[in-house]
């Protein structure tokens, strides 16, 4: 009988120990579940939303430069452009041959553009070409499922100087950001890799005034990283116009006179010939 009591006591001890272990494990699981659902729930919800959404900048239209009479000396032309985002899943290698065939472009040229912007290609779409035709736009739109990472948007693509070389030394010119620009000032100022920026002249000196304020677009993406729908959009604010005090017609006349004077001087064999003789 003593042995039986000992056996029953042992069974009771083991049962209680097992029950205690189950309760401890359950408590740990409940605490972990509470931590995931309540304490860190908001954080994980944001991360999950980030995995199915992407935010892209929308470039603002650059301000115009006009003379004292309101004649346009520089303005920006916008058009539909094709950009490609590196999704880090070999989509670039798969998409470029298809995209090159649709746009009738050299695939090597498209690949070189992606390689040249390798530093930024996983952060934002890299513009591959601009001013595509309506037929090309329709073709890409119909095949977006086969083109993961490809985006089409209506963006500023070219700076136009309608007066040609007139006042070019004053206006300067624009160009794409290079690594030096990015490191020295553009990154800190919130620029994107494919923005046109002033390089010389007024375009550079008045960059902050002409640039405007970029907008933002938030899109939902599917498992293949194709855009499903637009969730929100903040429209860009166009850049400010600049009016200079120079009369472009008067400047054109002055340049024509200068060219006439210089050409006349070059044609004269006399060393003491003066440019004023050309108008006598």
What residues form DSSP beta bridges with 153?
Answer: 81
CA angle, residues 77, 82, 87, in degrees to nearest 5: 140
Question: In the chain, which residues have pLDDT < 70?
Answer: 1-6, 36, 39-51, 118-123, 222-228, 263-280
Cα–Cα separations (whole angstroms), residue 210 to 7, 52, 93, 110, 200:
91, 35, 37, 30, 13
Q: What is the pLDDT of residues 9-25, one digit of tens each?
A: 777 777 788 888 888 88
User: Among 99, 87, 92, which residue's Cα sits nearest to residue 115?
Assistant: 92
Q: In whole numbers, what is the pLDDT of the chain averaged over residues?
A: 81
Q: What is the pLDDT of residue 167?
A: 92
The 10s digit of each residue's pLDDT in 205-247 is 999 999 999 888 887 776 666 666 778 888 899 999 999 999 9
Per-residue pLDDT at 1:
46
d(CA 267, CA 270): 9
Specify the pTM: 0.65
Q: How remote is the C-alpha of 98 from its chain's centroid?
A: 22
Dig out the tokens for 87 from the structure: 């999704």
């Amino acid at each position: 009988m003593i042995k039986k009591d000992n056996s029953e006591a042992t069974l009771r001890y083991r049962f209680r120990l097992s029950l205690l272990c189950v309760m401890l494990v359950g408590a740990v699981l409940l605490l972990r579940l509470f931590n995931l659902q309540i304490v860190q729930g908001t954080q994980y919800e944001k991360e999950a939303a980030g995995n199915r959404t992407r935010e892209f900048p929308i470039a603002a239209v650059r301000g115009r430069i006009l003379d004292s009479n309101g004649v346009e000396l520089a303005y920006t032309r916008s058009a539909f452009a094709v950009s490609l985002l590196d999704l880090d899943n070999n989509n670039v290698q798969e998409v470029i041959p298809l995209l090159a065939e649709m746009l009738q472009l050299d695939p090597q040229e498209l690949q070189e553009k992606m390689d040249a912007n390798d530093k930024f290609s996983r952060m934002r779409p890299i513009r591959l070409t601009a001013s595509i035709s309506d037929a090309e736009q329709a073709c890409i739109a119909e095949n977006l499922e086969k083109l993961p990472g490809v985006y089409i948007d209506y963006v500023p693509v070219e700076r136009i100087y309608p007066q040609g070389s007139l006042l070019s030394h004053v206006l300067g010119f624009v160009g794409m950001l290079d690594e030096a620009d990015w490191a020295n000032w553009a990154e800190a100022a919130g620029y994107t890799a494919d923005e046109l920026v002033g390089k010389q002249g007024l375009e550079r000196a008045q960059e902050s005034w002409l640039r405007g304020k970029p907008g933002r677009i938030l899109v939902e993406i599917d498992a293949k990283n194709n855009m499903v729908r637009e969730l929100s959009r903040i429209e860009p604010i166009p850049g400010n116009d600049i009016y200079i005090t120079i009369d472009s017609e008067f400047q054109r006349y002055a340049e024509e006179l200068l060219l006439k004077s210089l050409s006349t001087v070059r044609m004269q064999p006399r060393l003491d010939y003066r440019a004023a003789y050309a108008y006598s």
